[in-house]
Amino acid sequence: MKITAAITGIGSYVPDYVLTNQELEKMVDTTDEWITSRTGIKERRILKGEDQGTSVLGTKAVQQLLEKTGTRPDEIELLICATTTPDVLFPATANIISNAVGITKAFSYDMNAACSSFLFALATGAQFIQAGTYKKVVVVGADKMSSIVDYTDRANCILFGDGAGAVLLEPNTEGYGLLDQVLRTDGSGEAYLHQKAGGSRRPPTHETVERREHYIYQEGATVFKFAVKSMADVAAQVMERNHLGNDDVAWLVPHQANKRIIDATAHRMGVGPEKVMLNIQRYGNTTNGTIPLCLADYESQLRRGDNLILAAFGGGFTWGSVYLKWAYDYKAVS
pLDDT at 13: 99
DSSP string, 283-317: H-B-GGGHHHHHHHHTGGG--TT-EEEEEEEETTT
Among 182, 183, 212, CA closest to 196 = 212
Q: Are strands 78-82 and 107-111 parallel, antiparallel or unpaired?
A: parallel
pLDDT tens column, 96-149: 999 999 999 999 999 999 999 999 999 999 999 999 999 999 999 999 999 999
Q: Residue 83: CA atoms inside 13 Å, Cβ hemisphere, count? A: 36
**How far from 182 is each of 98, 113, 171, 213, CA to CA, in Å?**
29, 14, 21, 33
**Is the separation of the CB atoms in 318 and 116 below 8 Å?**
yes
Summary mean pLDDT of the chain:
97
Among 80, 92, 156, CA closest to 315 = 156
Active site residues: 115, 255, 285
Among 316, 333, 324, 264, CA closest to 295 = 324
Q: Is the pLDDT of residue 212 over 90?
A: yes
pLDDT at 333: 59
pTM over 0.75: yes
Q: Is the pLDDT of residue 268 over 90?
A: no
d(C-alpha 287, C-alpha 290), whole Å:
6
pLDDT tens column, 157-190: 999 999 999 999 999 999 999 999 999 999 999 9
Beta-carbon count within 10 A of 168 CB: 23
**How far from 238 is each of 49, 183, 244, CA to CA, in Å?**
42, 10, 8
pLDDT over 90 percentage in the chain: 98
Q: Give residue 159's region: left, alpha or beta (phi > 0; psi -120 to 50).
A: alpha
Mark 11-40 as b/e (b = at least 16 C-beta within 10 Å): bbbbbeeebebeebeeeeebeeeebeebbb
